[in-house]
Amino acid sequence: MRQSSEGSQVKLRKFLTLTDIFMLSITGMIGSAWLFSPASALYYAGPASIFTWIIAGIFFIFMIFGFAELGGLFPFSGSLARYNHYSHGIFSNYLLSWAYFLGAVTTVSVEAIAIVTYASSYIGGLVGPTGLLTPIGVLLAAGLILLFTIIQLVGINVFGWFNRFITAWKLLIPLITVILLLSLYFRPSNLTSLPGGFIPHGTAAIFAAMVPSGIVFAYEGFRQGLEYAGEAKNPQRDVPLGTILAIITVIIVYILLQIAFTGGINWTAAGIAPGNWTGLYNAWQSHPFYSELVATGVPLLLIWAFVLLIDAAISPAGTLAVYTGSSARNIYGMARVGYIPQFLAGVHKKFQTPWIAILITFVLAIAFLLPIPSWYYVVSLSSLLTVYNYLTVGITNHALRNIAPNLKRPYKAPIWYITYPLGFIAAALLVYWSGYSLINTVIIAVIAGLPLVLYGPYRKKLNLSLSKVVTLSIILWALLAIIVAGNAYSWGILSEFPVYWALLSLLQIGVMAYLYKESHHRSVKATWWLIIFNILSGIISYYGSLGPSPIIPYPYDYLVFTIISIVVYFIGVKTSYLTADLKEIIDKGLPEE
């Protein structure tokens, strides 16, 4: 990996404080999710969705312990695209960072869509009858993305000040909403006395609701403090502390919001039979909190409903701004470790921001506006893409304890021999609870992105000629297209899951076997844990209780997947090695960026 200490290298500005890191994580977590997720959580799990928020929060705390340690070890911008590189080399980390990048970019589009969707309640012509943005709505969303692209380009100094204001607003409005609902219109009977009771859809729904309801999407924003670590004044102290404080704060806020929203439903005014959570979701899904406040009929809450319409622009806008920057810093991180051409890590001489990466993010975010069907679907896909990257946290930390025990760790995860595996199991279960359809989509995206790394600087290190890379890319993409299309359109035996998944699995195995044959690079062997996880997660999710052919009933499928995850975890730890870039850090210290 090239060092940034060269005299010609323009460096990122070191400006962010502990408060900024805390605020970045907060604003990443309190965006459009607080406006939409409480309603969708009730749709999936009823009042028991309160437990969904609590359990998901605990899962994220286990993961954040590990991320906080990694953030202190490697305080770089675009850090989530780089952690696993130091313990497993090129391919494992690239596949994880590719998925994360797709998840981050889609989030930019999602937040823009959220703003326009809420605005449709007072501006006509933005959303069509199917719930999709109209051409005018798409243009407005694109304009919002452009605005925050400019803010990011101008520099982190301006953005840090802007984000403090936005985050203060985003914390204040949900908390005031909670206080108003609890004090002026709270019906405890909505929690326990409706048809179906507190757990109307069974305990399995508490877990199955995490991804499709947007709850995981809400918590995922914690990572923004990590993404900007390279621009912090004292990153090894402030990044771990700011991130942990932020997730604890947000867990409390979201639990209170779910309780207040559930207790504040006026079923009569909504025209829905009490306990009909599906009917409520269908009626209020475009602007849940606004609809609820209006339905109460309480004058002060009616006034506050209009404040929420303003917040419906500001809260997603803050998250949109953060993800515009973090997506760019993901590109920056991938370029810094050599996965993509180095010029993409270019820093603007005047503003000291990764301007090329920011512009690429802008173009891709605009592209994702076009085919997106709804906020609820895209947050599920975006969440899974991001959680897939979180598989790295436990394995990477454990591996580093083995291969680099003397690295300076400003923050150490508590009881690491328990925390690390639990962090991996938490991420793995969140992947599983996404369901087969989304898992299949993400694995296809990961496979499709694999050849791209071979066009970067690592091609020569792998002893691959450009002609071999082009040939491999064409063959892989052609076979992938045939296999996926054959399954989607029921072409003969390709419509059968065992055949389809066997071919998709063989494609992954075949590509990695070819790369090892050509290069004998150790990073290829260090990727097998992820390939095994891909294959087994598809099989269990298809035949588990959430899949289309539920042979393994709940909760035994959860137990089976947990056991598989533990096995994969230790395979991942075992296949790690002392990479050249990690050795360089051990010998010379952290490079300055």
Segment 387-405 shows an average pLDDT of: 96
Predicted confidence (pLDDT) at residue 175 exceeds the cutoff of 90 = yes
pLDDT of 498-512, one tens digit each? 999 999 999 999 999
Segment 535-560 shows an average pLDDT of: 97
Give the lowest-confidence range in 117-126, 394-403, 525-534: 117-126
Contact 21, 223 (CB under 8 A): no
Contact 427, 393 (CB under 8 A): yes
Tokens of 161: 């000040």
pLDDT: which is higher, 459 or 231 = 459
Closest CA to 583 of 91, 94, 92, 86: 86
Closest CA to 573 of 408, 431, 407, 417: 417
Predicted confidence (pLDDT) at residue 371 exceeds the cutoff of 50 = yes
The span from the CA of 536 to the CA of 313, in Å, is: 41
Segment 145-166 shows an average pLDDT of: 75
Classify burial at 385, counting beta carbons within 10 Å of its beta carbon; exposed 0-12, middle 13-18, buried 19 or more: buried
Contact 344, 332 (CB under 8 A): yes
pLDDT of 263-296, one tens digit each? 999 999 999 999 999 999 988 988 899 999 999 9
Q: Assign 301 a pLDDT band (cuts: 50, 70, 90).
A: very high
The span from the CA of 103 to the CA of 387, in Å, is: 9
Predicted confidence (pLDDT) at residue 146 exceeds the cutoff of 90 = yes
Nearest 5°: phi and psi at 16?
Answer: -80, 140
Nearest 5°: phi and psi at 127?
Answer: -125, 135
Q: Assign 411 a pLDDT band (cuts: 50, 70, 90).
A: confident
Mapping DSSP to helix (H, G, I), strand (E, B) and coil, where does residue 588 land? helix
Centroid of chain to Cα 145 = 19
Closest CA to 23 of 316, 174, 230, 221: 221
Q: Assign 4 a pLDDT band (cuts: 50, 70, 90).
A: very low
pLDDT given at position 12: 57
Predicted confidence (pLDDT) at residue 7 exceeds the cutoff of 50 = no
The span from the CA of 519 to the CA of 288, in Å, is: 54
Partners of 232 in beta bridges: 16
Segment 468-486 shows an average pLDDT of: 97
The span from the CA of 440 to the CA of 457, in Å, is: 30
Measured CA distances, 395 to 98, 422, 425, 428 (Å): 18, 10, 10, 12
Predicted confidence (pLDDT) at residue 319 exceeds the cutoff of 80 = no
Partners of 16 in beta bridges: 232
Closest CA to 398 of 415, 384, 379, 386: 415
Q: How many CA atoms lie within 13 A of 508 on its CB side?
A: 26
pLDDT of 325-343, one tens digit each? 778 878 887 887 778 777 8
pLDDT given at position 515: 96
pLDDT: which is higher, 23 or 60 = 60
Show the DSSP H helices in 450-549 as ranges. 458-461, 466-488, 497-519, 522-525, 528-543
Predicted confidence (pLDDT) at residue 204 exceeds the cutoff of 60 = yes
Partners of 127 in beta bridges: 133
pLDDT given at position 8: 41
Q: Assign 176 a pLDDT band (cuts: 50, 70, 90).
A: very high
pLDDT: which is higher, 542 or 367 = 542
Partners of 77 in beta bridges: 228
Nearest 5°: phi and psi at 228?
Answer: -100, 15
Segment 309-326 shows an average pLDDT of: 81
Contact 568, 532 (CB under 8 A): yes
Give the lowest-confidence range in 119-133, 153-167, 268-282: 153-167
* DSSP per residue, 407-473: S--SS--TTHHHHHHHHHHHHHHHHHTT-HHHHHHHHHHHHHHGGGGGGSTHHHHTT--HHHHHHHH
In percent, the amount of the chain with pLDDT more than 70 equals 94
In percent, the amount of the chain with pLDDT more than 90 equals 59
The span from the CA of 328 to the CA of 324, in Å, is: 6
pLDDT given at position 340: 78
User: How many residues are given for the chain?
Assistant: 593
Give the lowest-confidence range in 277-281, 351-355, 517-521, 546-550: 351-355
- b or e along 263-302 (b: 16 or more beta carbons within 10 Å of the residue's beta carbon)? bbbbbeebebeebbbeebbebbbbbbbbbbbbbbebeebe
pLDDT given at position 326: 77
Tokens of 589: 């210290």
Show the DSSP H helices in 131-228 as ranges. 135-154, 156-184, 189-192, 204-208, 215-219, 224-227
Segment 205-229 shows an average pLDDT of: 88
pTM for the structure as a whole: 0.90
Contact 585, 92 (CB under 8 A): no
How many other CB atoms are found less than 10 A from the CB of residue 493? 12
pLDDT of 68-81, one tens digit each? 889 888 887 777 78
Q: Assign 160 a pLDDT band (cuts: 50, 70, 90).
A: low
Predicted confidence (pLDDT) at residue 425 exceeds the cutoff of 60 = yes
pLDDT of 91-106, one tens digit each? 999 999 999 889 888 8
The span from the CA of 235 to the CA of 152, in Å, is: 20
Tokens of 224: 């923004």
The label of the residue with tokens 């869509």 reads 113
Q: Assign 163 a pLDDT band (cuts: 50, 70, 90).
A: low
* DSSP per residue, 232-299: BSSHHHHHHHHHHHHHHHHHHHHHHHHHHHHHT--HHHHT--TT-HHHHHHHHTTSHHHHHHHHH--H
How many helices (H) and strands (E) the chain has is answered by 28, 0
Q: CATH homologous superfamily of domain 18-434?
A: Amino acid/polyamine transporter I (1.20.1740.10)
How many other CB atoms are found less than 10 A from the CB of residue 169? 17
- b or e along 122-154 (b: 16 or more beta carbons within 10 Å of the residue's beta carbon)? eeeebbeeeebbbeebbebbbebbeebbebbbe
Question: Average pLDDT over the chain, rounded to whole?
Answer: 89
Partners of 228 in beta bridges: 77
Centroid of chain to Cα 186 = 33
pLDDT: which is higher, 435 or 128 = 435
What is the Cα gyration radius of the chain? 23
Contact 226, 79 (CB under 8 A): yes
Segment 294-303 shows an average pLDDT of: 96
pLDDT: which is higher, 63 or 461 = 63
Tokens of 186: 């709270």
Tokens of 200: 């109307």
pLDDT given at position 203: 96
How many other CB atoms are found less than 10 A from the CB of residue 578? 16
pLDDT given at position 6: 36
pLDDT given at position 593: 59
Mapping DSSP to helix (H, G, I), strand (E, B) and coil, where does residue 334 land? helix
